[in-house]
Chains A and B, each alone.
Chain A
Amino acid sequence: MTIHLTFSDWLALLAQFMLLSVMSVSGAIGTVPDMHRFLVDRQGWLSDLQFNACVTIAQASPGPNTLFVALMGWNVGLNAGGGLAAGPHAWLLGVLGLVVTMVGILLPSSLITYNAARWGQRNRHWRSVRAFKQGMAPLVIGLLMATGWILVRNGADVHRPWGVWVVALISALLVWRTRIHLLWLLGAGAVAGALGLV
């Protein structure tokens, strides 16, 4: 897909990710629903397929899964430049998108954490510090659950919507109940999907 981004669109992208960064108490993955609302539903800068691919590729790759944000920025930039095949101009925009989204998602939260962690460590026995830590715990769990849910729903095939739900359920049960290596699950999923079973 090809889109057109103005300077103020780039600023909006940076501002949106900086805002999400401040709100990402359950990690960047907890802000996936909001990223979807912004990038796919509202702005139309990424297709549903591209959006889900970013999250999945980052999940299948080693390292902090926050890197899906880099892929989103890269793809927004590529779309703005007319796609990967459009040449160095598009690649440069892709790198710009990558830098914009990564700086956006990391800078505010890192600054907050860096300073707040020092302060919190000094005052960890305060009632308000404990109330914040413990009060947020159930919310963090609910947000993680919602993130998984939305990823399944967005990935569902129109013709066979139940397929992905079954796969997600099996995956969730196995990861929850066993110590199976996550790569086996991703590999098995890839094979089942390539064979057209999902």
Chain B
Amino acid sequence: MTASHSPPAGTHPAGPATVCPASLTELFLAFNWMALQGFGGVLTVVQREVVERRRWMTPEEFIEEWAVAQVMPGPNVINLGLMLGDRFFGWRGAVTALLGLLTVPLVLVMFLGLVYGRFQHLPQVAGALRAMSAVAAGMIMATALKLLPALRRHPLGIPFAAAIAIGSFVAIALVRVPLLAVLLGIGGLACCLTWRKLAP
């Protein structure tokens, strides 16, 4: 297991000192290992590996980078991998982290897809998948609920931030407005209002 990596001698466990991955191979294996541990949500795994175990980043750095990875388009774990890889090895590191996150999980997911395709006509399989689909949907909604406390200190205040969240939910889920319109309309409005509230 690649996770049994120990920090080099001379760095204190509680200190802010961080270490760099020794090679592109280590970077690749590390992200591969994180991806394989992450079912549903990879954030917890990444935080534990990158900050606590391998100490490639301090907790403060991690939170800042994560905010950027979250806000930028694209899957946030992949974004974080790109940013981390770039920091250590430039664009080659970014590509290595991306491949580390995707290759082995891609093979696994294709395998599961093929197995499913072979048995999809059984009513039990259809039933199991329908229920699992509902469980997965519940997980995604739970992620939204878990992020709600982050709105407590929102510059627009709780009621207004909640109104934006609910408004975008209603627009997409109930009215079925296309995503781009919601991003430009509600998103643009939210960013402008936030900009006015923030001290110059």
Interface residues of A (CB under 8 A from B): 19-25, 27-31, 33-34, 37, 49, 52-68, 70-71, 74-75, 84, 98, 106, 108-110, 112-114, 116-118, 120-121, 124, 127-128, 130-153, 155, 157, 163-165, 167-176, 181-183, 185-186, 188-198
Contact = CB atoms under 8 A, between A and B. Distances in A.
Interface in B164-190: 164-169, 172-173, 176, 178-180, 182-183, 186-187, 190
A21 B136 CA distance: 22
B129 A193 contact: yes
A190 B131 contact: yes
Contacts of A113: 68-69, 72-74, 79, 82-83
Given A33-B176, A124-B64, A171 B135 contact: yes
30 contacts: A52-B133, A57-B116, A61-B108, A61-B109, A70-B110, A71-B113, A84-B114, A109-B72, A109-B73, A110-B94, A110-B98, A113-B68, A114-B94, A131-B192, A135-B187, A135-B194, A135-B195, A137-B147, A137-B154, A139-B165, A139-B182, A146-B169, A150-B173, A151-B137, A155-B130, A171-B138, A175-B139, A185-B135, A185-B139, A191-B128
A53 to B, nearest CB: 6
Interface string B53-76: 000000000001101111111111
Contacts of B70: 140
Given A62-B108, A64-B101, A142-B169, A28 B36 contact: no
A interface SS class? helix
Contacts, number: 371
A137 B150 contact: yes
Given A136-B187, A137-B151, A141-B144, A62 B39 contact: yes
Contact of A57 (B77, B109, B165): B109
Interface of B: 35-42, 64-65, 67-79, 82-83, 86, 91, 94, 98, 101-102, 104-106, 108-110, 112-114, 116-117, 120, 123-148, 150-151, 154-156, 161-162, 164-169, 172-173, 176, 178-180, 182-183, 186-187, 190-195, 198-200
A60 B108 CA distance: 10
